[in-house]
Amino acid sequence: MQITIEGLVKRYGSVTAVDGIDIVAKEGKLTSLVGPSGCGKTTTLRCVAGLERPDAGRITIGDEVVTDPAENIFVPPNKRELGFVFQSFDVWPHLTVFQNVAYPLQNRNVPKDEIRERVTEALGLTGIEHLADKPSTQLSGGQQARVGICRAIVYEPRVLLFDEPLTGLDRNLRKQMRYEIKRIQSELEITSLYVTHSQPEAMTLSDKICLMNTSGTVEQEGTADEIYNHPTSQFSFDFFGSSDAMPGSVVDGNTVETDLGIVETTGVDLAEGTAVNVGFRPEKVDVAVDGEADWNGNQWAGTVADISFLGEMYEVIVDVDGTQVRARRRTVPDGIDEGATVSVHLDPTAVFVFPS
């Protein structure tokens, strides 16, 4: 079922946490709410769950309006048929894995035979059926995460909500669980709304990303590819991936004056003389031994100041007349060492220009 959020406003006294946002989480897809702390993403999720009463706006799940203050509509949380995976997983220590997952069904007076069948199916979906009788106190972090997911899906909710469920896990386990959550969500084809401040989580999991800013509004929405490669603002550009920017001034519709000199780009819809920031991704910077490459525009000579191995790629820092340019490449060409004279190049199509 589709989740539709229209004009949502939530205030806490004089503080506006969410300021008139519109979001559509399409049926069967996973939509992420991502952004820095304090941007209102968890507040939005809690409004969808019915754990917070908004001051204005409308929330619809499928064809049912579950929240609309203007019409005095507020469906209680237990009537919304939502699955919720919390940050702490809320695994009850005095119960076994099976008992933890069975609890939502017992609370709904589901027959015992059906409970056993549905719990077994949920445990099997997450690969922990062998832990059914294990005490919850003996579970690892990853196993607790799977129990939390099982309990959220076992009663076949209309939609699934996640509130930063991987925050407490180590890096490798977080990566593993990202793929596990996406697999389960895709297999069930259940509409999901996922809150995170993690860029990799949002980019790995999401069919659509809603990037929220500290004003409690949506800065940009789209696929991970769209937001990363076509940021519409400095905020979007800075939030996703590694980014570099330098001040500049618009010369005309295709060029900007910067500390590097004239930087060519592809279409600047700003008046001549406008102060701007010129941004680019380090992985879009080409680097070659000076004289061995002849790029068309946006080419500068400099000296290699540092080379670092980052695991998946190398970072080469080039000093161009006092301005440092980072290039991230999977390999470093022969002849490029610290102190070497090199050429760096920026593809005009990979240069972003934002009002400063």
Residues 162-183: pLDDT tens digits?
Answer: 999 888 788 888 888 898 999 9
Transcribe 272-322 into DSSP letters. TT-EEEEEE-GGGEEEEETTS---SSSEEEEEEEEEEE-SSSEEEEEEETT
Chain centroid to Cα 209, Å, comes to: 6
Is the distance from CB of 210 to CB of 34 less than 8 angstroms?
Answer: yes
CA-nearest of 166, 208, 154, 212 to 28 is: 208
Can you tell me the distance from the alpha carbon of 94 to that of 106, in angstroms, rounded to the nearest whole number? 16
* Residues 226 and 277 reside in one and the same domain: no
* Residues 229 and 322 reside in one and the same domain: no
Strand 208-212 and strand 218-222: the pairing is: antiparallel
Q: Final residue of a domain: which of 188, 210, 237?
A: 237
Cα–Cα distances (Å) from 74 to 17, 51, 91, 116, 314, in that order, read 20, 11, 28, 33, 54
Q: What is the pLDDT of residue 242?
A: 82
Q: What is the pLDDT of residue 105?
A: 92
* Residues 130 and 41 reside in one and the same domain: yes
* Residues 300 and 195 reside in one and the same domain: no
Cβ within 8 Å of residue 252, ≥6 positions away: 268, 272
Q: In CATH, what number is assigned to the domain containing residue 323?
A: 2.40.50.100
Can you tell me the distance from the alpha carbon of 270 to that of 93, in angstroms, rounded to the nearest whole number? 60
Residue 244: helix, strand or coil by DSSP? strand
Q: How many domains does the chain have?
A: 2
Q: Final residue of a domain: which of 220, 237, 254?
A: 237
Q: What is the pLDDT of residue 171?
A: 83
Q: 191 pairs with which residues across the strands?
A: 159
Parent domain of 65: 3-237
CA-nearest of 276, 85, 303 to 192 is: 85
In single-letter form, the type of residue at position 75 comes to V
Q: What is the pLDDT of residue 216?
A: 96
* Residues 180 and 228 reside in one and the same domain: yes
Q: What is the pLDDT of residue 312?
A: 87
* Residues 199 and 277 reside in one and the same domain: no
* Residues 289 and 178 reside in one and the same domain: no
CA-nearest of 70, 87, 21, 7 to 220 is: 21
For the chain, residues with pLDDT lower than 70 are 89
Q: Tell me the whole-structure pTM to 2 decimals.
A: 0.89
* Residues 225 and 251 reside in one and the same domain: no
Q: In CATH, what number is assigned to the domain containing residue 173?
A: 3.40.50.300
Q: Final residue of a domain: which of 237, 259, 285?
A: 237
Can you tell me the distance from the alpha carbon of 84 to that of 159, in angstroms, rounded to the nearest whole number? 9
Q: What is the pLDDT of residue 93?
A: 85
